[in-house]
Chain A
Amino acid sequence: MSDAKKKKIEINNLVVKYEDKTALKGISFDVYENEILGVIGPAQSGKTSMLKVINRTIEFIPEAKAEGVVKVDGEDVMKMKNVYELRRKVGMVFPLPVGLPLSIYDNVAFAPRAAGIRNKTDLDELVERCLKQSALWDEVKDRLDSLGTKLSGGQQQRLTIARALSHQPEILCLDEFSIAVDPVTTMRIEDVLKELRSEMTIILVTNLVQQARRLANRTAFIFNGDLIEIDDNDVIFSEKPAQKMTYDYVNGNFG
């Protein structure tokens, strides 16, 4: 691996416990600037918990406890005073689309407004750019004032992505974004992600092994709270990854 790359996120011995079970059992890895890191692994292996630690929304789950150190841009997220700035820096897209009960325009303008941007022209520009990036603009440009909650599931998911981009994040975390989206739109969003790679760091959690293979530079395989392997895609998806388990999971002959 080229050590010349700048580390965007450093995860060091991260443990996440819920009341009765341990979701992550001490994983460590780095995410480099401007790469797409694929994260694969079966359900319940702690992938979502990991994302929630990165933008510290784990603290909204009362029974969850996180130990270990997660640094974004070299700063420990647990010790950050301005957690709102951290969350603006990290765009989050979760599996189930959430259209806020606001107009489509306000859905996208919500985060910039919360950050204090009031200028109408700036907002207009930002909303248009984010909706274009999430491949939704053409479908909604004539009805920006209609309700975001009235959109179809796939459209709402793209609205959610637009909202995650609206606060101009440096890191974009996508958690199973394609579950509620049709294959054609998925391909369009994947194209967008490839373009975004030059501007931001992307963590792509996905159940679709092929999606990680198509998009990611490197892929991490997490199983049952342990990091089994993280390496370049060339290695992970080759005939000989370091772990036999990785090979089995990637090729679908697991268990």
Chain B
Amino acid sequence: MSNTTQAMYTETPFVRTKRRYQGLAKYIFMSMTLLMILPLILIVGYLFVKAAPVLSLDFIFTNPIRGMRDGGIWAALLGTIYLVVISLVTSAPIGVLAAVYLNEYAKDNWFTRIINLAVVNLAGVPSIVHALFGLGAFVLFAGMGRSIIAASLTLGIMTLPVIIASTKEALGAVPIAFREACWNVGATRWQTIRSIVLPNSISGILTGIILQVSRAAGETAPIMFTGAVFFKAIPEGDLLAYGIFDQCMALSMHLFTISTQVPNVPTALPYGTAVVLLGTVLLVNAVAIVLRVYLRSRKKW
């Protein structure tokens, strides 16, 4: 008896093999993580080094001058902010409410299944296709012309399916047992959603929406056809410089223009533009992370 007990705790060849595989697996996963981080650091570092000569507050708050070969990016930055804010203000409420309907109310029948399938497929449609749709629907058919509102709505259409999908996921993460417990005591679906489901999924919903900010800010194609222009001078430092039926500049479009369309641009300019675009997106993402941590800390199970 004591012999077998001893034998149980000694290292057998099988145990050694297990250990070796477990160590191997760990190093493979770790090296992939490092491999992922390395290019990121290189890209960001490279951008900052190249952009260093132009980076200053003036760069952010002045308009481009001398045929976009000098000056700042104010008009483009403000244009991007307009586009992103208006697109999210329109798509977030629609997306979240639609997701609540699909996840909480809709019966599981062929119709809902088709809608769900459509949402998933729409999320994968290339942005240039959304651009053509925006051109046809908003610019031409709805008669908005090439304008901030047309471009924003096009971006909104593009972000909508992703917001629906991420919101549905957040709602689905709330255990079904909570809902059943509420229904069992005579609460309506809406009472259940309001007091249990939404408070416990709000962090996931907000994260999903805010992540769409970076997507909306970075896309060039959808706004190129629908409202963004190469150049437009606006009053510097005036946050209300654009009207919603004006055309506007945008950071992503500006970056494209000065890197490929305008000759003899100092190399620091496009890099500076890229850093500001990246910085804007990172700032918004940082807000998302802080919000998420805060709401997580209030999570109740």
Contact = CB atoms under 8 A, between A and B. Distances in A.
Contact of B184 (A55, A96, A102): A55
A18 to B, nearest CB: 15
A182 interface: no
Centre residue among A96, A101, A164, A166 by max chain B CB count within 10 A = A101
Contact of B186 (A60, A88, A101, A149): A88
Q: Majority SS of interface residues in chain B?
A: helix
B185 A101 contact: no
Interface stretch (B47-55, B117-125, B157-165, B174-182): B174-182
Interface in A100-137: 100-102, 110-111, 114-115
Nearest to A106: B195
B89 interface: no
Contacts of A96: 177
A26 B211 CA distance: 54
A149 B301 contact: yes
Given A98-B177, A98-B181, A111 B300 contact: no
Contacts of B187: 84, 110-111, 114
Interface residues of B, number: 21
Contact of B182 (A110, A149, A164): A110
A195 interface: no
B11 interface: no
Interface string B192-231: 0001100110000000000000000000000000000000
Given A62-B108, A102-B300, A147-B300, A111 B185 contact: yes
B20 interface: no
B107 interface: yes
A139 interface: no
B196 A101 contact: yes
A68 to B, nearest CB: 22
A99 B181 CA distance: 9
Contact of A57 (B108, B177, B183): B183
A42 B232 CA distance: 78
B185 A88 contact: yes
A149 B196 CA distance: 13
B168 to A, nearest CB: 17
Nearest to A107: B181
B35 to A, nearest CB: 39
A110 B180 contact: no
Interface string B267-301: 00000000000000000000000000000000111
B188 interface: yes
8 contacts: A62-B108, A86-B186, A91-B185, A98-B178, A99-B301, A101-B199, A114-B182, A114-B185
Interface of A: 55, 57, 60, 62, 84-88, 91-92, 94, 96, 98-102, 110-111, 114-115, 147, 149, 160, 163-164, 166-167
What are the nearest 7 A-B pairs in CB distance? A101-B300, A111-B185, A87-B186, A88-B186, A149-B301, A114-B187, A84-B186
